[in-house]
């Protein structure tokens, strides 16, 4: 495994981050394809044994059970200071807004709950899961700064935002003496490259780490079409993101398979090797042993400039999907989906 500094922080992270959305009680949350506790800890432990020290979860994943399983795996199998734990908090709920729970108090509540779930004393990277259009950015930044000052959080990141929002937030943080966001977790992979327009250049200019999610497009970049899986059949959110562009993406997927055969490696390795030429550390979900192996092996695969050009050449512009599709309206709708399945407050 290779390691890299996470943007402007002092965190040294593995070149691959293990995404923990696939871990958590399958009977307690949005997804039915997640791994229960024992299987989750086995995969997390395999990642640690393979050199992965960077793990990304969220309080919204399976009602906090993803955080619980990750924390237990760390306590049982690792030295805490050797592991970088990232977790995410949700926007204020409609009930909190109605009850006048401030953005600052909201963050304190969520930090305490995540620490309880994890069974840990601090969070290395605390991520603003999606832009809260109902809460002033000042309140969010002040709340995050307070939990950093209390020693409960080391650094902060952001997810699902536009480049202008990140730039504006960090400018406000600088003017007020608050901690800045050191990383961004956006939607970015070989078949969805819209982050290259504004976000990637901003991050390169300001040394903000890029840790994209959906690195393998929910499995679409790791296998040819026609292969079945429980997640592929049941993950409605992944279908929302990718079904409408299947015909446009197919040529790229075929080229990934072609290069994989030429190199004698998996499609996963080719897809992630391409991504590693662009960003800091991709978030890669893993629910099987070979998922971990493919992610780890990708770090050592070096694609030529011709390979990279060949993979990129068929790409066409994509519409934004999910949280980013229609700023405030879609973000609020997605927040309600999470809130419906997440019992945090």
**Domains of the chain by range and CATH?**
3-341 (3.20.20.100)
> What pTM, to 2 d.p., does this model score?
0.91
Buried b (16+ CB within 10 A) or exposed e, 303-320: beeebeebbeebbeebee
Structure confidence at residue 241 (pLDDT): 67
Across residues 256-273, what is the average pLDDT? 98
- Catalytic site positions: 61
CA-to-CA distance for 212 and 284, rounded, in angstroms?
A: 9
Band of the pLDDT at 338, cuts 50, 70, 90?
Answer: very low
51-69 pLDDT tens trace: 999 999 999 999 999 999 9
> Bridge partners of 4?
13
CA-to-CA distance for 213 and 281, rounded, in angstroms?
A: 10
* Three-class secondary structure of residue 165 per DSSP: helix
Provide the pairing of β-strand 54-56 with 17-19. Answer: parallel
CA-to-CA distance for 110 and 89, rounded, in angstroms?
A: 6
Q: Which residue has the higher pLDDT, 54 or 246?
A: 54
CA-to-CA distance for 256 and 243, rounded, in angstroms?
A: 19
Q: Which of 5, 16, 12 is nearest to 292 (CA)?
A: 16
Across residues 69-97, what is the average pLDDT? 97
Tell me: pLDDT of 110 over 90. yes
Q: Which of 237, 172, 160, 173 is nearest to 199 (CA)?
A: 160
Tell me: pLDDT of 237 over 90. no
H or E segment to which residue 157 belongs = strand 153-159
166-207 pLDDT tens trace: 999 999 999 999 999 999 999 999 999 999 999 999 999 999
Structure confidence at residue 281 (pLDDT): 98
CA-to-CA distance for 243 and 327, rounded, in angstroms?
A: 21
């Amino acid at each position: 495994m290779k390691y890299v500094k996470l943007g402007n922080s002092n965190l040294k992270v593995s070149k691959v981050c293990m995404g923990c959305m696939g871990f958590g009680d399958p009977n307690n949350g949005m997804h039915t394809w997640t791994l229960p506790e024992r299987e989750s800890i086995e995969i997390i432990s395999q990642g640690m044994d393979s050199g992965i020290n960077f793990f990304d979860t969220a309080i919204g994943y399976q009602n906090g059970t993803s955080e619980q399983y990750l924390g237990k795996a760390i306590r049982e199998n690792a030295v805490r200071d050797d592991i970088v734990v990232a977790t995410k908090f949700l926007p204020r709920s409609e009930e909190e807004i109605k009850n006048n729970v401030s953005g600052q108090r909201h963050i304190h509540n969520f930090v305490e709950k995540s620490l309880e779930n994890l069974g840990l004393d601090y969070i290395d990277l605390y991520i603003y899961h999606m832009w809260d259009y109902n809460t002033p950015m000042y309140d969010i930044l002040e709340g995050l700064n307070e939990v950093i000052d209390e020693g409960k959080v080391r650094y902060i990141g952001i997810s699902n935002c536009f480049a202008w929002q990140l730039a504006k937030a960090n400018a406000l943080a600088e003017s007020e003496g608050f901690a800045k966001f050191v990383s961004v977790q956006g939607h970015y992979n070989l078949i969805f490259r819209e982050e290259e327009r504004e976000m990637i250049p901003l991050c390169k200019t300001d040394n903000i780490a890029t840790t994209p999610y959906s690195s393998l497009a929910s499995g679409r970049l790791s296998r040819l079409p026609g292969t079945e899986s429980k997640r592929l059949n049941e993950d409605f959110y992944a279908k929302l993101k990718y079904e409408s562009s299947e015909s446009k993406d197919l040529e790229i997927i075929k080229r990934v398979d072609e290069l994989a055969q030429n190199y004698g490696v998996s499609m996963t390795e080719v897809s992630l090797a391409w991504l590693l030429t662009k960003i800091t550390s991709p978030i890669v979900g893993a629910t099987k042993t070979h998922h971990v192996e493919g992610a780890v092996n990708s770090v050592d695969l070096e694609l030529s400039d011709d390979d990279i050009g060949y993979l990129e050449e068929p790409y066409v512009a994509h519409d934004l999907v999910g949280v980013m599709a229609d700023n405030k309206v879609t973000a609020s709708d997605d927040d309600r989906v999470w809130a419906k399945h997440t019992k945090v407050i």
